[in-house]
Structure 1
Amino acid sequence: MNKSIFTLMTAALLMTGSMFSSAYAAAGDKAAVAYASSSMKLVDGTKLYLGPDATHLLKPSASFKVEGKDFVSFENLTGADPSTTFSGFVPFELRNVQATATGATFELWADGKQVVVKAADGTVADGGVGSNKLSELNTVFAVTYASADDKGQVNFNKLYTSVIPTKEVGLSVVAFTNSIEWDADMLNEYNSKGITFNFAADNLVGNVFADEMKAVKAGAAFDSWVAGTYFVKGAAADITKFKTTQSAENAKNLYFACLTDDKYVLNGQKAGEGHKFAWVKGETISAAAATLSKDAAFTSITEGDAINNENALTLNMAPTIATSNPVTVGAYKASESDTKAYVTAFLNSSVVAGAIMLPATLGTSTYLDASVLLKKDAVNTVNIYFTSGKQSVDGDANQQYEYHKYLVAGAGASDYQLEARAKSEIDLASPMTQWVVSGFNGKASFTLTNREAASPANELVLKLKATDVEGEYEIESATPAADDAIAAGVTANSTGNAGAKNQSLIGKTVRFNSVATTKTDGFLEMTKAEREGGFHLLFSGKVPGGIAEMYGVLSANNATGTYTPSENKGDYAFTAEVVKDGTPAVANYIINDVDAAYLDKDGNIVTVKDTLAVPSYKLVVGTNSASKKVLYLKKDAVTTIDKDDANEGEFFFRKNYDGTYAMGLISTNYAGSVKATAKAVEVNAAGTAFAAAGTATLYVPTISNVTIKFNDNSDATSLPAEPRHVSFDNVLGSVAMQMNKNNLEEGILSKEGLTFWLDTVGKADVPKFYISRGVEGQDERLFMFNSADSLGIFSEDDAQLSENKNYLLEGTASDPKAIFRAATLTAKDTLTTTVDGDLIKDDLKAYQYTIQLNDEDVDNEYVVKSVKGGWLYALNGKLGFTSDPKKAMVFTLGDEVPTSNDAIEVSEVKVIAGEGQIQIAGAQGKKVVVSNILGQVIANTVVASDNAAIAAPAGVVVVAVEGEAAVKAIVK
């Protein structure tokens, strides 16, 4: 940004009305921080800088208390040069201005605190000294004027205390403001769609500048045209051509704001004044460029008082048609009572007494407020979510786009890179997907820094433009701006025809979704109980023929064995020790500090650091019973070694998007251990040993995905791994099912719930279950099924278009239904499913669930989580799966266990379940109702004998004997 410093225009050329906060106007722009003599009005609210000269300005001191109230004074009376540093320089504000016979009195405030000096001698108050009394301090200042013409102006050259006798404050303290020269780039940036100029008059005549236009800077004469800033309108391509190559030829098709020979008749008009502006075609100007171009060229555009009258601009020219120049462009009014104002050029220093010249004020801005991405008093961290592009088509590499994907930092072959990835491919809680808002240029460009990645994909500078959709922004420019900035994940069409292309960020539209963060996001931080309770490491990854899973065990199955891969867990678990040393030694972490920013209470940008901590551990394999030495994993070879050996290892665990971890090894450089090419511990290709220098990296694993199996008591949080019958009950209803119009048995909430079979799956530390319901007269059961893979709309997780819409939970954008699909449990952990006569190979994870306590301190309140992903919940009475654990339904489990053929005693009555019947003993003369679990009545009769038999279908039935509690029984 090129801002030159100019002296203030007179008060008549200044106009109130701020377009955006001055807190952001000069952000990062050191050149804007300079000041010139001021002749502003001395009124309440005027802001000014104070000092003996423009290079020695006064700062407010640190805040101090007097009688319980906060005050500031002047930091010193020698001042400091703001061109060296602007830190701490803020404008002072006038309050409670009172006119006197020879001048004025007023209060000075800074940062919301009143300025005081010593009453006795006018010197700086002793901030913080407890003996200070308010009566000893001066809170009101005074100025006097040498001439009556100066009254009410801020052109004083000395500042005094108001007490009698008055004391001078400092040495010839003068008031200043900053004046900024605008260039063409600044104007076009102010409104990227096209700038306009307004003038503060209700009845304005001849304002050609109300049309959207672009500013073009001609830095040197061309084709007899003069240098200057031109205001043009026309086709965007023609404007771009003219800006790129300034020539009479390229100017022909454009229109230029130009002074003409046509004049207004103005009161008090002087020769050469009152000329009208018009849009003149470039070819006309080119025909007489030596003269006409001067009537279209602006020599300077100045913001005279940037702290009180932002965007009020003085437009200067040196045209040929004026009898003398330079001239100032403004809206001329003969007097305050004049009903019209005329946009014209006026000879400088020749304003008729009583006449008013109104400056130009910039119209609507496309600048953004800092609050778009910066929060008050809190750092903002976001996921960047694309809303532009097309829906990607599943399975078609040439139809992959950024639409509904996320901008993340990925790892390439040699370094980090920007990628557009679907939700299912990433973990939104990972620091690789998190961007810290770390800066704002005061206009439209925000700096965002990735929490984990290093250069070149760690920092983005995005110039944004608001779209018509609230919360969505178009990226106008970006750094980095390479054409393949988001190549990974936006696959190129190798044929070069229509389809996905590697494109830059420019032109994309995005949303910024704020996310909560913790210091250790993306990395495993073990609790003390987990570290000391012990754990096993299960390594997994894709190999030819499927997925390989191998534990790390001691080869001799004792504390002295070599650590090797095995399909069995082994007997010796790890414990972990938090590392107590390392570099840096401040804590037990690799520290990544990135810049972060927020707004303070006054709207100023405050910069702090966002710290990402990576916990690292030494892993204890076991205890040697003979020597009592603790053994550790070793570096490089990844085997056991005696404690305190120079090669003992130190490891950390970086979370993968699927919930597993990559196991990293600390190198000699802490900070260098987390990088795009950092190696991960893996099982070697032969499956016989571990390696820390193989092909696997933290971000591109092979057989290196680590699942950490803690030796906790899973039954304390999970339903015990025992087959059983249960009902799932909630205050809103119990789990049941119904056939919908698409012939799907969908899960619902009902007043009358069903009883389900729970079958255990494997021997996992956290038990998994199949949830099913028997089908009368058939071997098949209806198994609860997570229909995520069957969704037939655009999947938000995968950013792909799929096939069947019937599996979407109504009222959601992407949550799958919970349905019940017919299947046969042919062997433990094996289901076969037939749909429309075809054998379907479903992902068994879609049928498997964990059932865990919602709160360890509350018994029998469980949540159901699909192994496929998502918690069971209800929306409008229908069941589905949500990725938000806060929405998970909390169920109590019905504990009635039906009998087989054992007798159930109901008072003196006995109910015996047999084959195809229920036998009722001791109920002669009583009414008996037998119903199925859905509530359908099978029998409703008064038994005539003391040992009656009632036919009933196989399955669970409910028997209600008059005067007794209902019971459940299993009929064979």
Structure 2
Amino acid sequence: MNKKFSTLVAGVALLFGAMSANAATTPVTSLGKTNTELFQLQTAGGDSVLVMNKYGTLLKQAKTSLNGLNIANSLWCVEVTEEGYGKAPIFDFTNKATGQRLDIAYAGTELVTRPGSSATTDSTTVGGEINGWAFSSQYKSGVEDATLYSYFKADSVIGLLQVGGNDTIRVKKEAAATAYADRRVGSVFTKFSLVYADELNLDAEAINTILGLQTADKGVKLNFNKDKNNTQLKNYFSDDAKFFADTAVYAGAPSGTEFVRILTGKKEDSTYVYVDTAYVNESGERFLGFTTKQFTKAKLNGKTLSDTLGLINDQGKFLFTYWPSIDSLVIQVAQATYLNGNTYFSESLASLGTGDTTSIKSNADKKNYVTVQDLVKADDIRIVTIYGKKETEIGFGYKGCEPVSDGRASLDEGLYFIMNKAGQYLASPIHVNGAEAQWVTVKAGEQLPAHMPAYQWTVLKTQSNDRLAPTSPNEVANREFASLTETIQVYKAAGAKYWSASSTLIPATDSLFFVQVKDAEGVKGNAALIAEAYQDSLLGYKNIPDAEFLLREYNFKYLHPYATGENSKYLAKGADKDSLLNVLANAEDKDAFRLIYKGITNYGYTVNAAKAKRLGIKQLRRARYAVQLGLAYMDSCAEAKYGMNSYINIPDSFYLKENNHYEDECYYAIVKAADNNLGAYKAGVTDDILDATLKVQPLVETRTSAFAINEDKTPLYRRFNREVLGEDKDDKADSLRFYENVRKEYLMDENNREGGLMDKVVSYAGMWTADKATGLAFQIDTAWLALGRGYIKPQYLISVAHKNFEGSKGVPCEYTHGHIDANNQPCDSAHCIHAIPALPGFQRGKYLVSFADSAAVNNMDKPYTDIKNGYVRVGFVEAIVLPEDHLMYVLRDEFKGLDNDKIDFAAMEKADSIAVANGGKSFIIDLSGDEHKNVTWSFRYVHPEKALKVSEESADNSFLFESMAYPENAAGTYSAAGTKKAIAPSTAAWLKLHNGCVVLTDHSSSFANAKTGGDGALIFNVENKENDELATDNETIATSEVTVIAQNGAVRIANAEGKKVVITNILGQTVANTVITSSDAVIAAPAGVVVVAVEGEEAVKAIVK
């Protein structure tokens, strides 16, 4: 028999007292510099100990709440450093569960600014620069109860303090002298005692997880010193096959005493270990062995395990008692049966309790120990058996300061996909909407998880300390649904392919892949996609750039396996009066919708500056939109369908959430918004009806309809750069004729003086037939195209009578004496008052402008309106343009007569500033910016859907001549303000002809009416002729010798004696039809514009007063 083990048991008994669950705590009296034992730091009173949780936080915990799963957090390894003779030793403490030293951060914490003799406001977390603690003044013997404090400078310390009755441990600053004087008292800091941990009765979970350090499915292998040897008999507790513990019910056991059954090999094999009813040897002192039996469900055949084992049922129940400070495990079996003179074991079993069987109820019963015995000492043969004494050391290998290797690992911080071995993604798909995380199959070519935050996970370490970081738990959170978050511990064996995790968030925790998004298949090496996934703050949802400006319209292409490529179907309103939406339209019939911006908000995982730096991602944002077609909005209708409603006050708004990615296009689900959150409904198409209407579907519906939402390429405005129409593809200046396409009258300089259409001060634009002008072409040049949103709404300058200037070099002063500038200050020769300054090149001409601003300061009266409070007129002003500076200088009277080389920009700017200071308007106009100006023009397509299809000028690419927008939905003052209204306004100023005058429509004019000619706005086309002659001023009427003069209530016709005269009104109705009988005839006519046709002459227009 190995007497060594009996000596050990005696030592344990001396150290810890009787083997009882109620044994008193044993203090530590002596230490070495390094120690294999693990100790507890017990607070005064003996009822609590210092623990460190998995986050590194220090807490006080009641000893009664410690068990096999949390005991490791209360165990500390102690190292002692001697400082020399006459100096107290320094103590360092390392927590067994976390592997983290008791190190406290000072720099960068609230301790820096806290006054002396004050404590921190929150529980203390380890991981810092302060360690090495003053504790007992001696360690080899007579270890003292004392406070724990450490120096952060020569005369100041920090120490651990339990505050009040709660469980938090805080750090307090104090003078070193005060701390030293109090170290054995504990009134300044908390006093601790170094003690051995009490023994524990281990339940099945504590055994299988080795006190919480591994997952319960790994299996357990114990250390026996010494173990069985030179025998084929197995030690089921230490074999490589490992074992599992299973809870066993044992009648009569005291409360809190847990017995377990032992399963060997794979747990699912249900092979149980029990003490055999047979001896393993034939001579000498005889010993019982162990055997196994498989108790699968099939083998039990409806019976219980207890029923099947019968009288030896208790011989398969084991009690594990553990002393964690010294890693000492005592295993006892509930029952063992001996022959004791009987021939057969059945005889002994028939007389239970007579001495033929031995049984225990708790570890207070000193028998039935699992131990090792010498069977043949000379041959060194040892067996595992049951004996009345513990004859061997058994343990988990749970010693010292190094954490037990259990496969714990930690993920690097970053953005991840979490996948299982089937290739599924852990995600919360659209129909789950954050309720839980599920395994989702992603079909290649149909979805792009790099664009879908609900399929992405942020991963942070909870510990950054160099020692703890390699096995730090990870804080995992879904990027879209931040409530799906958990702190998990990941595991990965050396060389293993898969990870596992301790998690309730992940549905299955084995065989996992954690792949950083940037390294995932299909993403790695794609710089653009990586940038989107990490740096696009609008990831996951459709965002319309500048949506609040209403710049664009969009088509919704439906995703369906039978509607792809040329067969694609689009969202559209039903024909005629059918307001319901469907997906039956082909590319030619699709509708173009406006997405009306309704606000933007942050969503998903909160990313502050610190997390952005650690994760490399941005805070996500999503915008919601109303969907508009004409004046109607998408909204729910009867029978749970979506349609376009023109009469709703507050239309539905929607989030456009990416759900699919097919052939390089993103497809979005249309989800009804509930303010800043996703609502309970989405727009969907079902296959159960043939009309393919868009329905209001519950969000939880697993099938989700998705749409590619692409900008409608139909241009809103004409840009004169189509080569097929003879225009310059590089947008260079060109000359064009503008004609309205009803009567084909041309835009020109107004020259009908006799008709009363001209003014001696203002040069108007006019409309007349081609033969009435000396030139019909206007020069057009881009004023705002390449910058801002000019590509959507190009703005042009329209001009005639050009006198451009190439610029001139400056001539310095030729005098040799000292030079002075205009302010009488010394300067160089180039800036001397005698120098001739350089002049930049510029364009000079007469520019077509709206007189809206002049009319406003002139009380809406002539000559800038047609009549008092009438329509604003359009005409020409002489101006200079600096294209590169985007500036126009409208010439004031004093500058109009100057030759180009005499132009002085400084003088013009000075005159302008004086005029503005005196309450006048500025004549220097900034041509930049998307908002319209009175001096620029844009050309609004009447039929934008047809415009790009034409190869020759026709009604399909006709346009309105557009000036500035009016305030929408409001009558009143003409407004130049409002960038949001500048592009494609519903109400604006367009050219029209009123009583023969070219004017601008007023605020009552709408695009819907104007495009049909319903409110008099002129619809134009252009002619593009080679070497065309520009329009010029023409002060005479080209009517041979015949003169037509408009008067009050009549038309006077001279030099037409004997000729037939026909006078018609603007509607073509005949007013007079007669033959002139004198050389100066007066014919009565109604007020307004009339057309006078004299036999043999071209018809002319006149305005009758």
More strand by proportion, 1 or 2? 1
Place the TM-score, normalised by the shorter chain, in its bin: 0.3 to 0.5
TM-score (norm 1): 0.41
| Structure with larger Rg | 2
Higher helix share: 2
Q: Structure 2-normalised TM-score?
A: 0.37
